[in-house]
Chain A
Amino acid sequence: MINCELFTCDAATKKLYEKAKKERIDTVWDRALAMQPQCGFGEMGLCCTNCSMGPCRIVKVSDDGPKAGICGATEDTIASRNFARAVAAGSAAHSDHGRDIALALYHATGKIRVKDEEKLFKIAGEWGIAVEGKDASRIAREVAEKALSEFGKIFGKLLFLKRAPHKRQNLWDELGVAPEAIDREIVEVLHSTHMGSDADYRNIIRQAIRAALSDGWGGSMIGTELSDVLFGTPVPRKVEANLGVLKKECVNIVVHGHEPTLSEAIVMAARDPELLELAKKQGAEGINVVGMCCTGNEIAMRHGIPMAGDFFQQELAIVTGAVEAMIVDVQCIMPSLATVAKCYHTKLITTSPKAKVPGAIHMEFDEQKGLDIAKRIVKEAVMNFKNRKGEVYIPDVKSEGEIGYSLEAIIKILDRVTNSFAHPSGTVKPLVDAIKSGVLRGAVAIVGCNNHKQPHNSCHVTLAKELLRRDILVVTTGCGAHSCIKAGLMSKEARKYCGKGLATVCELLDIPPVLHMGSCVDISRILVLLSEVANYMGVDISDLPVAAAAPEWMSEKAQSIGLYAVASGIYVVLGVSPAVTGSENVTNYLTKDLESVLGGRFEIEKDPVKAAEKIAVHIENKRKRLGI
């Protein structure tokens, strides 16, 4: 057994890990231990399986091993190809998510109503869709159509690129990295990384950048914007977090995965009076829906549904013995869940044709019959209540925080410090003033996953605290957000971690110092915020005193996010190195040279305290260059 004191800073995780061990359940940490030592070739990105002449590997540790693949591919080619493919996969995951939301909007008639018409009109305006004399559902359909065509249109660039500062758009054009159609960019990565295609690591990475940009400014942005249109733009609200939100006396349903189309429907279904009645009949006090990972973020942001936990807590949720059903859709769903669920009464229910898990019950979700299917799924959970067996143990660990900081919400909050006789309202001016005056030194996005190579949650939390102390505002999404809220960083009391400047800002605006901006696709909100700030200041994103960090990242999506952030001009600090270190050229290109090309670059820094120091230096340098 591993010493869990060392691998996580979260109390609920520790307690449930101990229960899992008692009950002889293997978790992600145990499998990670069993995997040691992990393969050095893969870790360095020096293993290629792109054709059946392989697998090939480049040997670095001794002089006499192979220095090229059988086709002649060098370490630079192999490492950059592997990296590009990871980025493409990440972009594909986000983009397919965006496509599903666009499809849901397309079918939004009758049952699913458009919740935020104002936002719908705004996007229609941005995309040149006439709105006069049309009703909302017709406009929704046209916007959805236009969004869907972004995935495969034949000519022209992505529409949302126009949101970026002009300097940035021009730079992308000059470098030839402005994405055209989302799917096409992903396909092109797959093409150029095929055996015998592109061998120039810079060119391979250039194509990866296009695919990544088509995620951040394409798939993810479509996902976020249209989710807001469909389900409402998040506004600040209180929410509870951590596994302590499960309720012993209730039917507990964990929704896990990514797409809000499913989780929204489940939330609605769980409020159905008939099902509530049924739950009572089964001896339960009610139905308790809680969220996990990004879909958890989505319904927390919009409905205040409790955030049960992050990526590494998914198995532990089941280990409580209190989960009647874990309902999943796509992405970051550990296949091990089926095995863990088998030891309890928990039903693992998969819903997407794109993500089935052997051993799970599959109840396919379809947006058009969303609520009906959701009700069937919830009923399945309710009927499972009486099947609980073994010890139910819900650790008494939860925290509370304020979340729901969409860009729209942030701008509204900023109006609180404008003077109605001196300032315009509805702009980012107060934020810009706070930064320019030096009250805030800068802002950092802490995003990303959990990874056994880093202590669970503590990298996110330590980094955040180190930044707050230095008057650096933190925004967060994804599992980074789960970490921060669990550690209490989204409560008002978190001001005690802040320097005077940030504490003052939080007090004036009545906000926590760490702002939850949503799920992983919602990182697009951060791109838009940065663009608004840069536009207001008349500079490029790369001029701003900002940075991003993914201290515990693991997924290919995170690699796509990291690369589109870099390509948008942002300094990105990674706590875990991508598998490129086998090639010095590729590593240098990503961590050094790219800065002179795009204004952003990667930095690899495992230690969150050192990462904070590096970020602070970066931010002060940017300030100096701006003369502020």
Chain B
Amino acid sequence: MALFDIIFEGSKQALEAAKAAVEAAIEKKGSDAKVAFPETAYGLPAIYAATGKKIGTLGELRDALSIVESLIVPEQNLEKALNAGLATALSAEIIEACKYAVEEKPYSEPCVGFISDAVIRSLGVPLVTGDIPGVAVVIGEAPSAQEAAKVIKDYQNKGLLVFLVGKIIDQALEAKVKMGLELRVVPLGYDVTSVIHVVTVAIRAALIFGAVPPGNLEELLKYTRERVPAFVNALGSLSELVVSAGAGAIALGFPVITDQDVQEVPHYLIVQKDYDKIVPTSLEARGIKIKITEVPIPVGFAAAFEGERVRKED
């Protein structure tokens, strides 16, 4: 199937899933029930940034579905493909919002789910100074826990902020990767849709630090492309949904590096099957230069360990 068709297909699937999630949530809570993510002033951040609208209730969320639908126009060109990718991101946000509307605490250890405004504000300075040189979003499943750990730790050692989505979280746990925001490895959730919680980090960064006016999609995408040094590693088999979410990342200016066979897109969608090269490939793709020279000592050593208390017995 042509790449754009895969994207359109994935976006339609995401939309269907979002519709179903909204219906189920309304059935349970009624259309007047509140929807909100915890500890944010930006409503549903992706929808807010893209449309300027703050969604308050499930009924309004149902209305937002038509916006998503209007973004999916299966014409064969990049513009429409990227819009479809954005639609998938919005669908993901809708699905995640429904989780928060229906359940008291949809995420539990080790996953963090939605990330609060306070955390984003705390990330602002190190991102600007380059202390956090980049944001890696690792999604899916590596061939083994060792390979997963190798990639994650490598980013960690270089001071990048790493977000994990999917089975890779269990692989990281299995390989005893130390996680937590202070350690700069943040497991988001097991569902693909939880990737939206890092997307909204970028989006809120644009709103907070870039003062991008909500509803100005053009400027939002320019800010994320130019100012948020994020990229995606999509590992393991790629569903249409993941590919279309990848198109969303590309729309934000984030290159996607995958270990799977897909049609490459120059600069933006790169195949790298060699696990020893995933990290350098990704850094080059996003133009990330590591400021601190790596110290060749056996323990991972970088800013990522600043938050870790060195226990006596170590």
A501 at interface by CB-CB < 8 Å: yes
A499–B78 touching, CB < 8 Å: yes
B67: chain A residues at CB < 8 Å are none
For the complex, what is the distance from the CA of A504 to the CA of B284, rounded to whole Å?
18
A434–B2 touching, CB < 8 Å: no
Q: Main SS of the interface on chain B?
A: mixed
B280 at interface by CB-CB < 8 Å: yes
For the complex, what is the distance from the CA of A421 to the CA of B281, rounded to whole Å?
5
Tell me, rounded to whole Å, the shortest Cβ–Cβ distance linking A537 to chain B.
12
A438: which of B4, B267, B271 is its contact (CB, 8 Å)?
B4
A439 at interface by CB-CB < 8 Å: yes
Closest to A499 in B: B77
Tell me, rounded to whole Å, the shortest Cβ–Cβ distance linking A423 to chain B.
8
A500–B266 touching, CB < 8 Å: no
Closest to A502 in B: B78
B235 at interface by CB-CB < 8 Å: no
A419–B78 touching, CB < 8 Å: no
- Contact code string B207-245 (vs A, CB < 8 Å = 1, else 0): 000000000000000000000000000000000000000
B146 at interface by CB-CB < 8 Å: no
- Contact code string B264-306 (vs A, CB < 8 Å = 1, else 0): 1111011110000100110011000000000000000000000
- Contact code string B185-209 (vs A, CB < 8 Å = 1, else 0): 0000000000000000000000000
A471: which of B78, B263, B265, B280 is its contact (CB, 8 Å)?
B78
B76–A438 touching, CB < 8 Å: yes
B64 at interface by CB-CB < 8 Å: no
B266–A430 touching, CB < 8 Å: yes
A433–B264 touching, CB < 8 Å: yes
A438–B284 touching, CB < 8 Å: no
A627–B2 touching, CB < 8 Å: yes
B145: chain A residues at CB < 8 Å are none
- Given A419-B284, A422-B272, A500-B82, are A433 and B266 also a contact pair (CB < 8 Å)? yes
Of the listed residues B78, B263, B280, the one surrounded by the most CB atoms of chain A closer than 10 A to its CB is B78
B79 at interface by CB-CB < 8 Å: yes
A627: chain B residues at CB < 8 Å are 2
A2 at interface by CB-CB < 8 Å: no
For the complex, what is the distance from the CA of A510 to the CA of B267, rounded to whole Å?
13
B81 at interface by CB-CB < 8 Å: yes
For the complex, what is the distance from the CA of A619 to the CA of B281, rounded to whole Å?
33
B265: chain A residues at CB < 8 Å are 433-434, 437, 439
B3 at interface by CB-CB < 8 Å: yes
Closest to B81 in A: A438
B269: chain A residues at CB < 8 Å are 437
A334 at interface by CB-CB < 8 Å: no
For the complex, what is the distance from the CA of A305 to the CA of B139, rounded to whole Å?
53
For the complex, what is the distance from the CA of A423 to the CA of B284, rounded to whole Å?
12
A421–B81 touching, CB < 8 Å: no
For the complex, what is the distance from the CA of A418 to the CA of B280, rounded to whole Å?
13
A434: chain B residues at CB < 8 Å are 265-266
A620 at interface by CB-CB < 8 Å: yes
A187: chain B residues at CB < 8 Å are none
A438: chain B residues at CB < 8 Å are 2-4, 76-78, 81
Which chain A residues in 391-427 approach chain B with CB under 8 Å?
417-423
For the complex, what is the distance from the CA of A508 to the CA of B287, rounded to whole Å?
13
For the complex, what is the distance from the CA of A438 to the CA of B82, rounded to whole Å?
12
- Contact code string B1-14 (vs A, CB < 8 Å = 1, else 0): 01110000000000
B271: chain A residues at CB < 8 Å are 422
A439: chain B residues at CB < 8 Å are 78, 265-266
B263: chain A residues at CB < 8 Å are 433, 436-437, 628
- Contact code string B48-82 (vs A, CB < 8 Å = 1, else 0): 00000000000000000000000000001111011
Tell me, rounded to whole Å, the shortest Cβ–Cβ distance linking A503 to chain B.
9
For the complex, what is the distance from the CA of A627 to the CA of B266, rounded to whole Å?
19
Closest to A418 in B: B266
Closest to B250 in A: A504
Of the listed residues B264, B266, B271, the one surrounded by the most CB atoms of chain A closer than 10 A to its CB is B266
For the complex, what is the distance from the CA of A438 to the CA of B79, rounded to whole Å?
11
A441 at interface by CB-CB < 8 Å: yes
Closest to A417 in B: B266
Closest to B272 in A: A422
For the complex, what is the distance from the CA of A470 to the CA of B77, rounded to whole Å?
8
For the complex, what is the distance from the CA of A113 to the CA of B26, rounded to whole Å?
81
- Contact code string A499-535 (vs B, CB < 8 Å = 1, else 0): 1110011001000000000000000000000000000
Closest to B255 in A: A419
Closest to A624 in B: B2
- Contact code string A422-466 (vs B, CB < 8 Å = 1, else 0): 110000001001101111010000000000000000000000000
For the complex, what is the distance from the CA of A438 to the CA of B263, rounded to whole Å?
10
- Given A438-B3, A505-B266, A508-B266, are A419 and B81 also a contact pair (CB < 8 Å)? no
For the complex, what is the distance from the CA of A501 to the CA of B2, rounded to whole Å?
15
Tell me, rounded to whole Å, the shortest Cβ–Cβ distance linking B134 to chain A.
15
Closest to B82 in A: A500
B78–A628 touching, CB < 8 Å: no
A433: chain B residues at CB < 8 Å are 263-266
Closest to A421 in B: B281
For the complex, what is the distance from the CA of A471 to the CA of B79, rounded to whole Å?
10
A423: chain B residues at CB < 8 Å are 270
A422: chain B residues at CB < 8 Å are 257, 270-272, 277, 281
B78: chain A residues at CB < 8 Å are 438-439, 471, 499-501, 504
For the complex, what is the distance from the CA of A508 to the CA of B280, rounded to whole Å?
20
Of the listed residues A418, A421, A504, the one surrounded by the most CB atoms of chain B closer than 10 A to its CB is A421
For the complex, what is the distance from the CA of A438 to the CA of B2, rounded to whole Å?
8
A501–B285 touching, CB < 8 Å: no
A505: chain B residues at CB < 8 Å are 266
For the complex, what is the distance from the CA of A552 to the CA of B270, rounded to whole Å?
41
- Contact code string B109-138 (vs A, CB < 8 Å = 1, else 0): 000000000000000000000000000000
Tell me, rounded to whole Å, the shortest Cβ–Cβ distance linking A590 to chain B.
30
- Contact code string A295-319 (vs B, CB < 8 Å = 1, else 0): 0000000000000000000000000
A419–B285 touching, CB < 8 Å: yes
B267–A421 touching, CB < 8 Å: no
B77–A471 touching, CB < 8 Å: yes
For the complex, what is the distance from the CA of A167 to the CA of B79, rounded to whole Å?
35
A441: which of B77, B266, B270 is its contact (CB, 8 Å)?
B77
A437: chain B residues at CB < 8 Å are 3-4, 263-265, 269
A500: chain B residues at CB < 8 Å are 77-79, 82
- Contact code string A356-373 (vs B, CB < 8 Å = 1, else 0): 000000000000000000
Tell me, rounded to whole Å, the shortest Cβ–Cβ distance linking A416 to chain B.
9
B264: chain A residues at CB < 8 Å are 433, 437
Closest to B281 in A: A421
B79: chain A residues at CB < 8 Å are 499-501
For the complex, what is the distance from the CA of A254 to the CA of B29, rounded to whole Å?
81
B76–A420 touching, CB < 8 Å: no
B3: chain A residues at CB < 8 Å are 436-438, 628
Closest to A500 in B: B79
A441: chain B residues at CB < 8 Å are 76-77
Instruction: Sample 20 A-B pairs with CB under 8 A, ordered by A number.
Output: A419-B272, A419-B281, A419-B285, A420-B284, A421-B277, A422-B270, A422-B281, A434-B265, A436-B3, A437-B4, A437-B264, A437-B265, A437-B269, A439-B266, A441-B77, A470-B77, A500-B78, A508-B267, A620-B76, A623-B2
Q: Which 3 A-B pairs have the closest CB atoms?
A: A501-B78, A500-B79, A417-B266
Known: A422-B272, A627-B2. 10 other contacts (CB 8 A): A418-B266, A419-B284, A433-B264, A433-B266, A434-B266, A437-B269, A439-B265, A501-B77, A623-B76, A628-B263
